[in-house]
Amino acid sequence: MTERRLCGSLRPGDSGTAVTCYGWVHHRRDHGGLTFVDLRDHSGVVQVVINAEAAPPLREVAQRVRLEFVLRVRGSVRPRPAGSENPQLPTGAVELVAEEAEVLAAAETPPFVIGDPRPVDEQVRLRYRYLDLRRERLQRNLRARHRFLMALRAEADRLGFVEVETPTLVPSTPEGARDFLVPSRLIPGTAWALPQSPQLYKQLCMVGGLDRYMQIARCWRDEDLRADRQFEFTQLDVEMAFVDEEDVFAALEQLIGAAWGAAFGRALPRPWPRISYREALERYGSDKPDTRFGHELVTVTDVFAATGLRVFADAVAAGGAVRALRIPAGERPTRRELDGPWREAAVTHGAAGLAYLWRWADGWEGPIARHLSATELAGLGQRTGAEAGDCVCLTAGPAAVAGAALGAVRLLAARELGWIDGEVEHFLWVTEFPMFEPEPSGGVRPLHHPFTQVHADDWGKLESDPLAVRSRAYDIVCNGVEMGSGSIRITRPEQQGAIFRALGMTEAEAQSKFGFLLSAFRHGAPPHGGFAAGIDRLVMVGLREPSIREVIAFPKTQTGADPMTGAPTAVTADQLREVGLALRPEVTAVRAAAADAGAGG
């Protein structure tokens, strides 16, 4: 009787055992009367020996098989002959001698070799994603993602969370990004939205007495894509009643820590450091700081309070800031780098340019050195700690711009000068985010969402200085990547009304958009708070992958398309008519032109 075994599981202790293995042809070598086939499944590769002279059926299979054919092989495990072992393979000390072999499925020549580790064009990989999924990298990544999710659920259950599925057809609400709309056939002229998050529903779960809610939730946002963003994504969604920030922090650290260890085999030290939003901008020029390395920014505005250097003087006079970054001796960049990619990084983030100086034992050198007084140079050296051979980069302008620009230079310097330890994870909490950010057209909008509780000390600033109001919102950041965000929520109707008024929303508008939530809050809402963490980003960072597309089974391209299925696809006039829609004439013309081009090509 034969035992079914995975290809990668066979070891010397299995010698003499009759087994059946299933898999894909990874490699084929014909040595006259003997054919060697490397048979692959998700567990690994085993060498199969087919003696074509032993039986006609085996001869037929040996002659027919090619790469990616699917085989069933029954045979006996034996040690490989001395000198033919392959120490690079876990199964390299044994081979499977075929007694029966059957082709279960033939395969066309693949567009790339599954077993070749060399890079393949991403468009080709996405076009043939079902083949890309066979490769070791994605097999490893998706199985690690599975372990991550399983551990999250197990730990959440241990901590008393209840998983609740919330609707995926929801009312459209302002949550910071553009909604995906789903027109209603039954109620013409109306539309559902796909949820950007289950925010309102999980708060209603708290009103409903489910004091610890959890969901592995699918969410959608119609926004520009990038390496860590897709239209559709998965998040760990939690909400907890009768808690403050410390309770939420402890639960998330426990949940993510348990999943991290299960999926990636690495422990996360706890508790995670905390840093306020304002301190993060001051020290790193970013609200998602990469703290794997030091080299923090230094504010030197007061050093140049009376400077004659125009760009610094203008920034100080306008209430802005001058920021500095020290580059240690021996790592200093060249003028070409400073005037090229380093300056470009600063300008891209809003700065007018990038100033720089070198400090030497006998003084300072650089394009702006002659415009600065001895007192200013001495103050700069003291404040930054610059020593002989060090380079100091500076930006000036509005405080947020000067910080963001030099923060971008800091990250570029870290990549180019090798400051980053890529083998560690630095998790931290960023706290006390602003409640509002300015609208381009005037007024303010919520930085997090309008249900976020205001910092207790800042309610008095709501009408007089809303941009100075802090919130009880917080983010998890790891290695410079935002992993997710959350907040303690508003549950008192009068406080929620004050926030809506600050946003310029009338009572009628608030009732129209959020009446059901406000009604629920009048029926005994417990104080509560929660968090949403991006599963795709967490797994991407845990696996040290450069893009979330490497940890999603069927991702979109950066243009939002799916090369494998051809989506998004056109819809017919009948389909549109059913939901009461019609395409604008210019859109119809574009579609017709594209169809003509396709027919002609």
Residues 124/127/128/133 CA torsion (nearest 10 deg) = 90
Contact present, 429 and 274 (Cβ < 8 Å): yes
**Would you give the end-to-end CA distance of the chain in angstroms?**
58
Q: Name the residue among 338, 322, 318 with its Cα closest to residue 282.
A: 322
The reported pLDDT for the residue numbered 573 is: 86
Q: HSE of 175 in the Cβ direction (CA atoms, 13 Å)?
A: 23
The reported pLDDT for the residue numbered 601 is: 43
Which CATH number does the domain 293-417 belong to among 2.40.170.20, 3.30.1330.60, 3.40.710.10, 3.30.1360.30? Answer: 3.30.1360.30
Contact present, 427 and 268 (Cβ < 8 Å): yes
Superfamily of structural domain 3-105: Nucleic acid-binding proteins (2.40.50.140)
| Sole residue written with tokens 């009732």 | 511
- Per-residue pLDDT of 467-510, as tens digits, reads 999 999 999 999 999 999 999 999 998 899 899 999 988 889 88
The reported pLDDT for the residue numbered 440 is: 85
For residue 432, the Cα-to-chain-centroid distance in whole angstroms is 22
Q: Report DSSP state, residue 489.
A: B
The reported pLDDT for the residue numbered 590 is: 61
The reported pLDDT for the residue numbered 589 is: 63
**Are 138-265+472-550 and 293-417 the same fold in CATH?**
no
Which residues touch 115 (CB under 8 Å, ≥6 apart)? 26, 27, 38, 40, 135
Contact present, 203 and 451 (Cβ < 8 Å): yes
Ramachandran sector of residue 522 (left: φ over 0; alpha: ψ -120 to 50; beta: rest) = alpha
| Per-residue CA distances from 374 to 160, 198, 316, 321 (Å) | 64, 59, 19, 20
Contact present, 220 and 231 (Cβ < 8 Å): yes
The reported pLDDT for the residue numbered 53 is: 80
Contact present, 201 and 166 (Cβ < 8 Å): yes
User: Which residue stretches of 92-135 are H helix?
Assistant: 122-127, 129-132
* Bridge partners for 41 per DSSP: 44
The reported pLDDT for the residue numbered 174 is: 66
Top-level class of domain 138-265+472-550: alpha beta
Q: Name the residue among 350, 336, 365, 348 with its Cα closest to residue 396.
A: 350
The reported pLDDT for the residue numbered 172 is: 86
* H and E: helices and strands count for the chain: 17, 23
- Domain boundaries of the chain, sorted by first residue: 3-105, 138-265+472-550, 293-417, 570-601
Strands 528-534 and 427-431, by their bridges, are unpaired
Contact present, 173 and 514 (Cβ < 8 Å): yes
Can you tell me whether residue 446 is helix, strand or coil?
Answer: strand
Q: Name the residue among 431, 143, 368, 366 with its Cα closest to residue 262.
A: 143
What is the spatial distance between Cα 275 and Cα 433, in angstroms, rounded to a whole number?
Answer: 11
The pTM score is 0.92
Can you tell me whether residue 343 is helix, strand or coil?
Answer: helix
* Bridge partners for 395 per DSSP: 323
Contact present, 368 and 355 (Cβ < 8 Å): yes
Q: Name the residue among 496, 484, 508, 494 with its Cα closest to residue 451.
A: 496
For residue 499, the Cα-to-chain-centroid distance in whole angstroms is 31
Contact present, 508 and 192 (Cβ < 8 Å): no
Q: HSE of 59 in the Cβ direction (CA atoms, 13 Å)?
A: 7
Contact present, 451 and 496 (Cβ < 8 Å): yes
3-state secondary structure 518-581: HHHHCCCCCCEEEEEEEHHHHHHHHCCCCCHHHCCCCCCCCCCCCCCCCCCCCCCHHHHHHCCC
Can you tell me whether residue 162 is helix, strand or coil?
Answer: strand
Query: What's the burial of 25, exposed, middle or buried (CB within 10 Å: 0-12/13-18/19+)?
Result: buried
Both tokens of residue 246? Answer: 């410390």
Give the chain's residues under pLDDT 50. Answer: 599-601
Contact present, 373 and 361 (Cβ < 8 Å): no
